[in-house]
């Protein structure tokens, strides 16, 4: 029975994964994996994409491949249920990218909002590496080579998926139905779409030093939660508190589940009741932070412990990646056969072509 559902997603190995990745995508992936409602599921480490803006820092990318693999395993991705692989080890992805480059214009790439922001952030201005500029094309190849139907990613990846859909559509229009248009699968909760950093700044990011990593120790986690940005107007406990822009409450929206109240704070029956008291006044930030800390610790402790186990056998993690990469490569190779046939560049296995030309030249 085929459900025709192929899930695919990946991360750049430029650092350890943080709780923004967790609520934005990782948690959903594990859930999808365990529900089992799919034909195939691929999760990959986008090292080639990471190199597009780290050309002079290959060691950073190399060291973070294993960090991301450990993060994957520790959140519960299971190589028995999903194929975990390394992007650069699949040359078919480069081949497909090269063909796709003819199906998109320079001005369309320039309009991609994600690329625009990233160019500004990196100060590339007029010295944009070509590979970086075209990474949406390479990302389209990642998706199309596996005929992915469902791509669970964060909000920032929406323009990538739009571009991927356009390129696939164009390919199919020119060469006949070969590839599959992907759908984005976004987190369903606004707090999870773009989790702010602990300082309340727009996004959790390594360069801002405002991340909580999945692999942080209990002590690191505690320190970070205790120093989180809340409501600057909430000076005394009696003062009414504000929820808007209050990072502690944004994190509660992303992490708090009904059972956490019974477990950690039975005085309240729901997040709404807690918010109501906070906005009314009379509830101190310290208590709310402690509640958040309890929730985060209970979520992250099992992840941290599983990581410790996997860290004991690094060669086994590489073996898992090698096997996953082999399996993924076979799938990509199959798609590339179909692509070459559709594009009429399958000379050696096109017997009809050879026979027809032989006949024509014999006349």
**Considering the complex, what minimum distance in angstroms separates the CB of residue 315 from ligand TRP?**
26
Q: Which residues pair with 187 in a beta bridge?
A: none
Q: Can you list the positions of beta strands (E) in 167-320?
A: 183-185
Residue 230 phi, psi dihedral angles, 5° rounding: -125, -115
CA atoms within 13 A on the CB side of 165: 12
Residue 24 makes CB contacts below 8 A (sequence gap 6+) with 153, 154, 155, 187, 192, 193, 194, 195
**Considering the complex, what minimum distance in angstroms separates the CB of residue 66 from ligand TRP?**
17
**Considering the complex, what minimum distance in angstroms separates the CB of residue 136 from ligand TRP?**
9
For ligand TRP, the closer of residues 159 and 284 by Cβ is 159
**Considering the complex, what minimum distance in angstroms separates the CB of residue 200 from ligand TRP?**
23
**Considering the complex, what minimum distance in angstroms separates the CB of residue 19 from ligand TRP?**
15
For ligand TRP, the closer of residues 51 and 256 by Cβ is 51
Nearest-angstrom CA–CA distance, 158 and 153: 8
Print burial letters for 63-97: b (CB count within 10 Å at least 16), e (below 16): ebbbbbbbbbbbbbbebeebbbbbbbbbebbebbb
**Considering the complex, what minimum distance in angstroms separates the CB of residue 258 from ligand TRP?**
31
Nearest-angstrom CA–CA distance, 218 and 216: 7
For ligand TRP, the closer of residues 46 and 248 by Cβ is 46
**Considering the complex, what minimum distance in angstroms separates the CB of residue 192 from ligand TRP?**
15
Strands 183-185 and 6-11 turn out to be unpaired
Residue, CB closest to ligand TRP: 46
Nearest-angstrom CA–CA distance, 44 and 35: 20
For ligand TRP, the closer of residues 75 and 274 by Cβ is 75
For ligand TRP, the closer of residues 142 and 231 by Cβ is 142
Cβ atoms of 211 and 20 within 8 Å: the answer is yes
For ligand TRP, the closer of residues 43 and 221 by Cβ is 43
Cβ atoms of 106 and 51 within 8 Å: the answer is no
For ligand TRP, the closer of residues 139 and 215 by Cβ is 139
Chain positions contacting ligand TRP, by CB under 6 A = 8-12, 46, 49, 139, 142-143, 151, 153, 157
């Amino acid at each position: 029975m085929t459900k025709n559902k192929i899930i695919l997603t990946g991360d750049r190995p430029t650092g350890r994964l943080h709780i923004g990745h967790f609520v934005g995508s990782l948690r959903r992936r594990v859930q999808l994996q365990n529900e089992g409602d799919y034909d195939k599921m691929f999760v990959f480490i986008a090292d080639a994409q990471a190199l597009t803006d780290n050309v002079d820092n290959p060691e950073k990318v190399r060291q973070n491949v294993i960090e991301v693999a450990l993060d994957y395993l520790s959140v519960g991705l299971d190589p028995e249920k999903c194929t975990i692989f390394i992007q650069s080890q699949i040359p078919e992805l480069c081949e497909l990218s090269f063909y796709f480059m003819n199906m998109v214009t320079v001005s369309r790439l320039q309009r991609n909002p994600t690329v625009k922001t990233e160019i500004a952030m990196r100060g590339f201005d007029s010295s944009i590496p070509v590979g970086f500029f075209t990474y949406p094309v390479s990302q389209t190849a990642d998706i199309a080579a596996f005929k992915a139907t469902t791509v669970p990613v964060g909000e920032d990846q929406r323009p990538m998926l739009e571009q991927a859909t356009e390129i696939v559509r164009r390919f199919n229009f020119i060469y006949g139905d070969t590839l599959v248009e992907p759908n984005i699968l976004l987190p369903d909760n606004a707090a999870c779409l773009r989790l702010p950093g602990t300082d309340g700044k727009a996004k959790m990011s390594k360069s801002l030093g405002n991340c909580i990593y999945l692999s942080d120790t209990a002590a690191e986690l505690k320190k970070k939660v205790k120093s989180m940005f809340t409501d600057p107007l909430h000076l005394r406990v009696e003062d009414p508190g504000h929820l808007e822009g209050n990072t502690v409450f944004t994190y509660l929206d992303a992490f708090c589940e009904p059972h956490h109240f019974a477990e950690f704070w039975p005085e309240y029956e729901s997040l709404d009741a807690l918010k109501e008291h906070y906005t009314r006044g009379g509830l101190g930030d310290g208590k709310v932070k402690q509640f958040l800390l309890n929730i985060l610790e209970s979520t992250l402790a099992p992840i941290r412990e599983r990581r410790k186990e996997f860290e004991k056998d690094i060669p086994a993690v590489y073996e898992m990646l090698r096997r996953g990469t082999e399996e993924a490569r076979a799938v990509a190779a199959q798609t590339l056969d179909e692509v070459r046939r559709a594009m009429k560049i399958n000379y050696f296995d096109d017997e009809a072509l050879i026979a027809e030309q032989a006949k024509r030249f014999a006349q």
